[in-house]
Amino acid sequence: MNPLKFTPPLRVKAVMIDLDGTLLDTIPDLAAAANNMLVEMGRTPLPESAIRNYVGKGIANLIERTLTNSMDGKPDPASFERAVPIYERCYTAANGRHTTMYPGVKEGLDVLRAQGYPLVCVTNKSERFTLPLLDYVELSGYFKTVVAGDTLPQKKPDPAPLLHACTQLGVAPNEMLMIGDSLNDAQAARAAGCPVFCVNYGYNEGHDVRTLDVDAIVASLMDATRLIERIN
């Protein structure tokens, strides 16, 4: 864990949690969908390790990166337009089938709920994939609300989804903790004025989580609950 960058007490009143890479390892499903899309388009599948680095800014970015096998590549518009419905169909079929929950997630959610913290899931994944996935892994009941990638016009790292969650719960941004795994989460939290913890696993688009501007790095959601209790 890195040194705390805020001055205790933190006074957390509610907690927002990212989905992909924080609660769940969804890479096997995302990679299966992306590679099935490539095969259907007559292209060569990619290693799962490559696709892992392409996850983080929503479906459109994942499709673009997969089609070009590049973090910043832009496919031709016709290829992208053809790929989108293929990917969405492939991911609908794969969603949740090979996903696993990270260690400490269920226990951490149980503790946060028992301690009375309202919880929000804030993700860049589209709602039509997010809600069935949360149902499939039996996590839906933990969250007061879900802010998905298409709930608003903006996605993380824009602060709008986090501020929307704060409004939904009636909690000030400086009292709403964000727990995520990536630069998107860190930047969104900083812009929104929310404290932020990051887990030391997940998908950070190939970057070391220790380079992020966060208040703490934790090894699990359960460790995050212990830190909240210590500083709150």
Neighbours of 27 (CB within 10 A): 22
The average pLDDT across 131-158 equals 97
The average pLDDT across 169-192 equals 96
The reported pLDDT for the residue numbered 59 is 87
Q: What burial class does residue 12 get, using C-beta atoms within 10 Å of its C-beta: 0-12 exposed, 13-18 middle, 19+ buried?
A: buried
Q: Is residue 5 scored above 70 in pLDDT?
A: no
What band does 16 get if pLDDT is binned at 50, 70 and 90? very high
Of 18, 25, 29, 185, the catalytic one is: 18
Q: Which residues contact 144 (CB under 8 A, 6 or more apart)?
A: 118, 119, 120, 168, 169
User: Is 213 among the catalytic positions?
Assistant: no
- The closest of 149, 211, 165, 167 to 186, measured between CA atoms, is 211
The reported pLDDT for the residue numbered 208 is 84
Residue bearing tokens 């419905």: 85
Q: Which amino acid does the sequence have at 83?
A: A
Q: CA–CA separation, 180 vs 157, rounded Å?
A: 12
Peptide bond into 85 cis (omega under 30): no
Tell me which DSSP letter residue 206 carries. T
List of domains in the chain: 14-25+100-231 (3.40.50.1000), 27-94 (1.10.150.240)
Q: CA–CA separation, 53 vs 207, rounded Å?
A: 9
Q: Is residue 66 scored above 80 in pLDDT?
A: yes
The average pLDDT across 12-17 equals 97
The average pLDDT across 81-96 equals 98
What band does 146 get if pLDDT is binned at 50, 70 and 90? very high
The reported pLDDT for the residue numbered 232 is 84
What band does 56 get if pLDDT is binned at 50, 70 and 90? confident
Q: Is residue 73 scored above 90 in pLDDT?
A: no
What band does 4 get if pLDDT is binned at 50, 70 and 90? low
The reported pLDDT for the residue numbered 2 is 46
Q: Is residue 99 scored above 50 in pLDDT?
A: yes
